[in-house]
C-alpha cells in the first residue's frame, strides 16, 4: 500500500455498533456514514486521488519557499500561508463533491475510540517510526530557532535585516509537535492492546 493509499485508509473508521464511518476533518468532526462496502471502496479511491494531487503541491510550495525565497522572509511566509490556504479550500471543495449525498453521524465518536481504531490499522513499528520522525522534525525546528536566533539577525518575516524566516521552523514545531502527541497516544493504545493480548494468550 502506497503513502497516499495509507493516508486515505486512515480516514475510515468503525463505530461501536459496526457502522463504517468516513472522516475528513479528523477526530473533532462529525463523520459521514458509509452505507455499502462498494461506496467505501469508491470513497477511498477518490480520497487517494485528492491526496495524490494536493500533497505534492504542498511539499513543492514549502520547498520552493525555503530554498529560493529565504532571503525575503515576507514573501516566503506569505507564499506558504496563501498556498496552504488555497490547498485546504481546494481539498474541502473536492470532499464536498464526493460526500454530497452522504449523511453525517449525529455526534462525534470519543477521541480514544478514534485513535484506537487508527492504531489497529498500523503496525507498532510504523507508529514508533512516525513518533520518532515527528520528534526529529520538532528538534530540527527548535535547533533552527536557537541557532539562527543567536547567530543571525532575524525577525518574524517583516524586517529588512533578516536572513532567516522564523515562520517555517515555528510552523514545523507546532505541526510536528501535534503529530507527535497524536501518534504517541496511538502508540500507547497499541502497546496496551498488545500487552492485553499477551496476557489473554498466557491465560489460555
* 3-class SS of residue 66: helix
HSE at residue 137, side-chain half, CA atoms within 13 A, is 18
Q: In 3-state terms, the chain is what percent helix, strand and coil (to 5)?
A: 70, 5, 25
* 3-class SS of residue 53: helix
The neighbouring-strand residues paired with 104 are 32
pLDDT tens digits in sequence order for the chain, 204 residues long: 566 777 777 788 877 777 888 887 777 778 888 988 898 898 888 888 888 888 888 778 777 766 665 566 667 767 777 887 888 888 888 888 888 888 888 877 777 877 887 787 778 888 898 899 999 989 988 887 777 654 454 444 444 444 455 666 787 889 889 989 988 998 998 888 777 655 555 555
Query: Phi then psi for 108, rounded to 5 degrees?
Result: -75, 150
pTM above 0.85, yes or no: no
Q: Is the dihedral of CA 42, 45, 50, 53 positive or negative?
A: negative
Amino acid at each position: 500500500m502506497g503513502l497516499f493509499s495509507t493516508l486515505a485508509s486512515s480516514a475510515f473508521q468503525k463505530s461501536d455498533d459496526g457502522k463504517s464511518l468516513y472522516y475528513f476533518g479528523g477526530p473533532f468532526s462529525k463523520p459521514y456514514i458509509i452505507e455499502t462496502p462498494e461506496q467505501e471502496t469508491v470513497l477511498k479511491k477518490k480520497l487517494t486521488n485528492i491526496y495524490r494531487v494536493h500533497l505534492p503541491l504542498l511539499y513543492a510550495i514549502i520547498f520552493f519557499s525555503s530554498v529560493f525565497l529565504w532571503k525575503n522572509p515576507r514573501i516566503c511566509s506569505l507564499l506558504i500561508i496563501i498556498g496552504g490556504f488555497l490547498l485546504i479550500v481546494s481539498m474541502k471543495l473536492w470532499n464536498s463533491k464526493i460526500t454530497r449525498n452522504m449523511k453525517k453521524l449525529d455526534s462525534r465518536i470519543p477521541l480514544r475510540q478514534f485513535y484506537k481504531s487508527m492504531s489497529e490499522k498500523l503496525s507498532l513499528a510504523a507508529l514508533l517510526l512516525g513518533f520518532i520522525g515527528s520528534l526529529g522534525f520538532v528538534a530540527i525546528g527548535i535547533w533552527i530557532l536557537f541557532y539562527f536566533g543567536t547567530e543571525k539577525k532575524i525577525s518574524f518575516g517583516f524586517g529588512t535585516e533578516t536572513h532567516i524566516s522564523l515562520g517555517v521552523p515555528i510552523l514545523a514545531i507546532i505541526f510536528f509537535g501535534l503529530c507527535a502527541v497524536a501518534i504517541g497516544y496511538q502508540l500507547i493504545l497499541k502497546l496496551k492492546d498488545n500487552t492485553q493480548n499477551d496476557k489473554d494468550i498466557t491465560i489460555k
